[in-house]
Amino acid sequence: MIKYGELTTKKDNRSFFIKKLVSNIKNVLKDYDFEIKYDRVRTYIYTNNNYIDEITKKLTKVFGIHSIVICHKVNNNTDEIKENVIKILKEIKFNTFKVETKRANKSFEIHTMDFNNIIGSLVLKTFDCKVDVHNPDFVLHIEIRDDGTYIYTNEIKGSGGYPVGIQGKGLLMLSGGIDSPVAGYLALKRGVDIDCLYFESPPHTSLEAKNKVIKLASIINDYSGNIKVHVVPFTKVQETIYKMVPPNYMITIMRRIMYRISEKYAKKLKCDILINGESIGQVASQTITSMSVINNVTNMPVIRPVACMDKLEIIDIANKINTYETSVLPFEDCCTIFVPRHPIINPKLDKCLDYEKRFDFESLIDKCIENIEVVKDLNFNKFEDLL
């Protein structure tokens, strides 16, 4: 039984949210045999006992789910409920318990309190235990609904958030660092469907660096299932900047061009926003002044989910979602290779415009976009081998 997350507060869009969630669940579980039913309050997945652990693990990564409950479904028949309660509790070690009946089906003949008593007495009689209403070892939940009675004893926390896709699409600028995979995860959590854009500069950056990015994408793809990685051949742009722009402005100009490419390509992919892992003050290109001068090249909204987080807070999330270990592998990104010793922290817009007149960046941008390579098959194990 799936309990919905935040979406239950959004009245008008509710059925759209639930349909999206159900389709995301079907997508994640496509390799399993199961049946799915849903209504306004719950989604039910019926499956064979053998798959339960695997399916539960997958569901903990589906956004829009508040919790996952492993239930035993029986008919709305007191004897059958009693029989199953005993069967279920035989599997658990406990000293204290509490019964909580929910009688959603009002035509069921026994009232809630009476039913709690009937089941409570049965448990007391059958097992060596006590009732504790305040702090029991577990709560025995019995939900009597129209289509049957659901019995369960524990609830597994889901990831919360909104179902991926209900907020449209965004393009994540994904590097091999710690921040951008976390930014992508957080955007997915708010229901944004994402694709990833990675700028590579071979031979200054290695195949390992690229595989690392694809592997990071594959890890966050567990929360989506739809992610593709688009790889931009960025070498020519970087080499041109290296020749034409004074060292202290190289990063600023490079990032302005990254943003231009990202915006243009995002429109092609029908993405409405850009997402990246910038965090205020982290490096020279992420001072407020730098961000403003860099952001100046685009009108597209740029969402920076980790902008106001400390590095340690970002690392905590990276650990939680399992990207940290991959992010810290030592392969150079395009940014790290051309880093000047003194990048400017308060760049001036008119200077950028002057430097950009020195070369035909428009045609370089078009070339980059023409030659983008799309990686669709994010097979985690395959990239593990290559690292």
Residue number, 85 or 173, with CB nearest to ligand ATP: 173
179, 195, 222, 263: which one binds ligand ATP (CB under 6 A): 179
| Residues between 112 and 141 that touch Mg ion (CB under 5 A) | none
Quick check: 217 binds ligand ATP (CB under 6 A)? no
Which pair of tokens denotes residue 221?
A: 């793809």
Residue range at the interface with ligand ATP (CB under 6 A); choices 21-29, 117-125, 171-179, 345-353? 171-179
The Cα 371–Cα 20 span in angstroms is 33
Nearest to 319 by CA among 307, 327, 330: 327
**Cα gap 263→171, rounded to integer Å:** 9
Residue placing its CB nearer to ligand ATP in the complex, 159 or 327: 327
Q: Give the nearest distance from C-beta 198 to ligand ATP in angstroms.
A: 5
Tell the smallest beta-carbon distance from residue 172 to Mg ion (Å).
13
State the CB neighbour count (10 A cutoff) for residue 95: 11
> From the CB of 196, what's the least distance to ligand ATP, in Å?
8
Number of chain positions touching Mg ion (CB under 5 A): 2
The binding track of 314-343 with respect to ligand ATP, each residue x by CB under 6 A or -, is -------------------xxx--------
| Residues 234, 368 contacting (CB under 8 angstroms) | yes
DSSP strand E in the chain: where?
A: 2-4, 34-38, 42-47, 65-69, 72-74, 96-103, 130-131, 138-145, 148-152, 155-160, 169-173, 193-200, 229-233, 273-275, 302-303, 373-375
Closer residue to Mg ion in complex, CB, 201/282? 282
Residue in 153, 166, 172, 179 binding Mg ion, rule: CB under 5 A = 179
3-state DSSP assignment of residue 296? coil
Binding of ligand ATP by 214 (CB under 6 A): no
Among 44, 198, 355, 361, interactor with ligand ATP by CB under 6 A = 198
DSSP string for residues in 221-260: GGGTS---EEEEE-HHHHHHHHHHS-GGGHHHHHHHHHHH
Q: Which residues here bind ligand ATP, judged by CB under 6 A?
A: 173-175, 177-180, 197-199, 276-278, 282-283, 333-335
